[in-house]
Amino acid sequence: MPVIDIHNHFFPQTWPDLAKRYGTPNWPWIKHTEPGKAEIIIGDRFFRHIYSACWDPEVRLQEMDRDGVEMQVLSATPVLFEYDRPVEHALDCARLFNDAALELCTRGKGRLKSFCQVPLQDIDASCTELSRCMRAGHLGVQIGNHVGEKNLDDPGIVTFLHHCANEGAAVLVHPWDMLGQPRMPKYLMPWTVGMPAETQLGIVAMILSGAFDKLPRNLRICFAHGGGSFAFLLGRLENAWQHHPVAHGVCELPPRQYLNRFYVDSAVFDQRALRLLIETMGAERVLLGSDYPFPLGEHGIGSLIRSSRVNDETKSRLLGGNALSYLGLDRAEPVTVKDAPSAIGSPTHSHDDQLTYSSYLKVPELLALQDPQSKPQHHDELLFIIVHQTYELWFKELLHDLDGVVANLQAAEKNPQSHDEVYEAARLLRRCTEITRVLIEQFTILETMLPTHFLAFRGKLEPASGFQSEQFREIEFLCGLKDEKMLRYHRPTPEAYAQLERRLREPSLHDVFFGALRAKGCLHTDVNATEADQFAARARAVLSLYKDEHSNRDWIDVCERLTEFDELVVSWRLRHIQLVERVIGIRMGTGGSAGASYLKLTLDKKFFPELWEARTLLTQ
């Protein structure tokens, strides 16, 4: 698992004189003092010493190597957000930073990525700049936790966050412009006291205002410095929420229920604080963030996590695994992990960090994943959710096994004399058919729900629809039924969209099966032949296997398993239609289709029509 640092900063080596350009004072600039050393100056006021790691990718890469870090995602320095300037100036400044960041990354040997910045005082300009930056290669955006008097629950900022979700942009919230500064003139207290409070304020504002209720779940947002004081004071927040109507805000759920909606970084510099974060937020929600290369950053990036007593799997998540999903770089991480809720009150590990039944299987996280929408909760909605979740878990296993079948058939293609891979493919296919049998049976449990009971909460589910089951569509694409049009249902979830696009590009099970038969010498096709002739040739190849049963037992077993799988998937479609008719009659679906009559059209779909055609040929 790569080690990825999602919170660190840069400053371009050269910087135009913005005070001169705009005729306004107090712009940041860089003053090089000696080789490899510089100062950031705001107007004529010294702000901070910096060194060449800020602008020189060579130095940065060397230090990353020293600390065992594969990738860093760079952000600008928050004091330069310029949210109080006229928007044209702030936008120009943001563009300079954003383009400079990309330029620096191009010299980073693929190991440096960046977050852009936007003029958050103007939402339209921010959305436009974010879209431009995402197209140009940024992975997301760093924003301040407030714009003047506006907190993150400001409707304009919520609109911007919505846009980030749509663009698939990760958001890093950094505290800045700290409160109470007249009372903290000394001892870096704005950093040590003000910043944690600002970050806590950002999170609490988003929770209590109901911003998380309005924002889509695919928003990936992280709060710097471990979320500031938030985790430590969550109990206080909950206590107020439970006992004081004023503290209740307008959120739909108690505060802790929103912990699965955001990430925090690990920049807390203390083992007990890190442990509290993991136990409060869940190990899936903490990301390596160093604040490098500033003086208050972590010296020895990742050393806090590496020297902690958590097990190796948790370490690897914190060091990089979680960042892959936060940054949208890897959809391979299961949805259950991405959306895992807090483990608060039920630590997933025993006190001495030994594995337990519960920690291994993530039972507390699993049991907290049901989030009924009806209010008051309808009794049958829990069943509805659990049945669907169970289907999705089995779909995940099916994809895992079908990928295994593909890998074995690809190996068989490379080595046509070997039988091992063919046997292994057949064994895994048998598992797929057994799982599908269970999936067909499961519909009966849902049929214990009366149609009236479903209608009592159906309205809450729109516009969600089975059309959006990414894994179901993946199974279809993987087996060879690739229909690009179906991608449109996944536009709201960029990771799912990207994963399905990948499946569209990759060879399907159908492709590799016939590739292996070609390598075995059974299939001879002319690439210039018509599709009908190629289809006939593939069916004849299957026929030839059956005609020499003695020599082809292993391959015939694969053919039989594939046929059975095809047959069972049609049975699944049929049972689903029966369920749909039983529950909603001939009404339209929430996904906008004609409902049962549309679904009936899918009954003719077959993954391996040649296997069926071969049967006709056999009887001729």
Q: Which residues bind ligand HEM (CB under 6 A)?
A: 387-388, 391, 446, 454, 465-467, 469, 472, 576, 579-580, 583-584, 589-593, 595, 598-599, 602
Opening angle at CA 99, ends 94 and 102, nearest 5: 125
Q: What are phi and psi of 27, to 5 degrees?
A: -90, 150
CA dist., res. 79 & res. 81, Å (int): 6
Kindly give the pairing relationship between strand 37-42 and strand 28-34.
antiparallel
Distance CA 557, CA 346 (A): 47
Tell me how far CA of residue 539 lies from CA of 233, 519, 536, in angstroms: 67, 16, 5
Amino acid (one-letter) located at 369: L
| Smallest distance from ligand HEM to CB 444, Å | 11
Q: How far is the CB of 383 from ligand HEM (least distance, A)?
A: 10
Minimum distance from residue 469 beta carbon to ligand HEM (Å): 4
Nearer to ligand HEM, 487 or 584 (CB): 584
Residue 266, SS3 per DSSP = coil
The neighbour count for residue 398, using CB atoms within 10 Å, is 23
- Nearer of residues 42 and 579 to ligand HEM, judged by Cβ: 579
d(CA 199, CA 232): 12
Q: 372 or 591: whose CB is closer to ligand HEM?
A: 591
Spatial strand order in the sheet of 28-34: 28-34, 37-42, 45-51
In the bound state with ligand HEM, the residue whose beta carbon lies nearer, of 21 and 491, is: 491
Is the Cβ of residue 214 or residue 582 nearer to ligand HEM in the bound state? 582
Minimum CB distance to ligand HEM, residue 391 (Å): 3
**Secondary-structure breakdown of the chain: helix, strand, coil percentages, each rounded to the nearest 5:** 55, 10, 35
- When the beta carbons of 472 and 477 are compared against ligand HEM, the nearer one is 472
Which residues fall within 8 angstroms of residue 448, CB to CB, at 6 or more apart?
Answer: 383
Closest to ligand HEM by CB, 59 vs 584, is: 584
For ligand HEM, the closer CB: 241 or 572: 572
At 129, the amino acid letter reads E
**Shortest distance in whole angstroms from residue 401 CB to ligand HEM:** 17
Q: How far is CA 390 from CA 384, 393, 600, in A?
A: 10, 5, 24
Smallest gap from residue 125 Cβ to ligand HEM (A): 38
At closest approach, how far in Å is the CB of 405 from ligand HEM?
Answer: 21
Tokens coding 210? 């109901």
Strand ranges for 363-467 from DSSP E:
none
- As measured in angstroms, the least distance from the Cβ of 384 to ligand HEM is 7
